[in-house]
Structure 1
């Protein structure tokens, strides 16, 4: 079995055909606070991004994978970011793009696959995640996979006229 294949979905690299999917996600204002986006992205910029998505994680310091259901539906994205091979750590985040795909176990399976990949193939010692304190679904998901809350960044993001706290989670190799 491939490392990035589960029972409900598989994870794959970005492809040029993902242009419309990425364009839709990056320009959805309702999720801008997750990625700290403040302005829309053009198709041209996203096309350029996809053309450079082949870079190795050791070069780019990040890896974005597409979640695809066994029914061949594009579900969402899962990212490894701020890859630091010297200190053996990497950040992780995910997004289930449409509500109809949420609460079906896709996020949990994708997170498990990427955690295993990072520990086994990238040889990291720890993964970390930054989660808004009001994102109850993500908090529940990460805690269910033994990510430990290690701190709160108070008033960390300013969204819709108010400050929000952000929680820092870590998971160490077992």
Structure 2
């Protein structure tokens, strides 16, 4: 597994993940994004957390058959606050690559980037209380459950609690 910057050839992966309506309730997106807008985003993002207030990496895995690595997801640090040295974590893995430990390895790699390159003091994640697998994974790699955010997310017309989880890097 490795992380790399977005490239023009990642347009279809980005389009698929950003337009996956099953993920929208976890963020702020409320409408599909066009390929044009995503192509423009890829072309203009500088992959500099201090300029963009976010950084997005493509998660790649080796195929094992001598072929080029395969892009299997995205991992973001966003809502970056330079003043407070913190950022929020977001991860999306394609369905075919889920359950293989890829997200955990990608989070460890982005934590190292955040600590060693970006000088970030803490990363936090907002996790739906029903997502026990994500909670367990984050706990296993050094995150701590801080509080329950009551009725934080709405999904299928029902409110759901979320967990605020933090990891201090320095």
Q: TM-score range by the shorter chain?
A: over 0.9
Cα distance in 1 between the residues matched to 2:104 and 2:125: 14
Deviation string 1:69-90 (CA, Å, 9 cap, x unpaired) is: 0221111110001111221111
The yes-or-no answer on 1:15 pairing with 2:4 is no
Q: Which consecutive aligned stretches of 4+ in structure 1 deviate over 6 angstroms post-superposition?
A: none
- Partner of residue 78, structure 2: 81
The yes-or-no answer on 1:129 pairing with 2:155 is no
Shift of 1:152: 1.1
Greater Cα offset, 70-79 or 49-58:
49-58
The yes-or-no answer on 1:113 pairing with 2:105 is no
Shift of 1:34: 2.1
Q: What SS is found at the alignment partner of 1:104?
A: coil
5+ long unaligned stretches in structure 1: 1-8
Compute the TM-score of the two structures, normalised by the length of structure 2: 0.92
Shift of 1:55: 4.7
Compute the TM-score of the two structures, normalised by the length of structure 1: 0.90
RMSD: 1.2
Cα distance in 2 between the residues matched to 1:93 and 1:20: 19
Number of matched residues? 165
Shift of 1:173: 2.0
Q: What SS is found at the alignment partner of 1:37?
A: coil
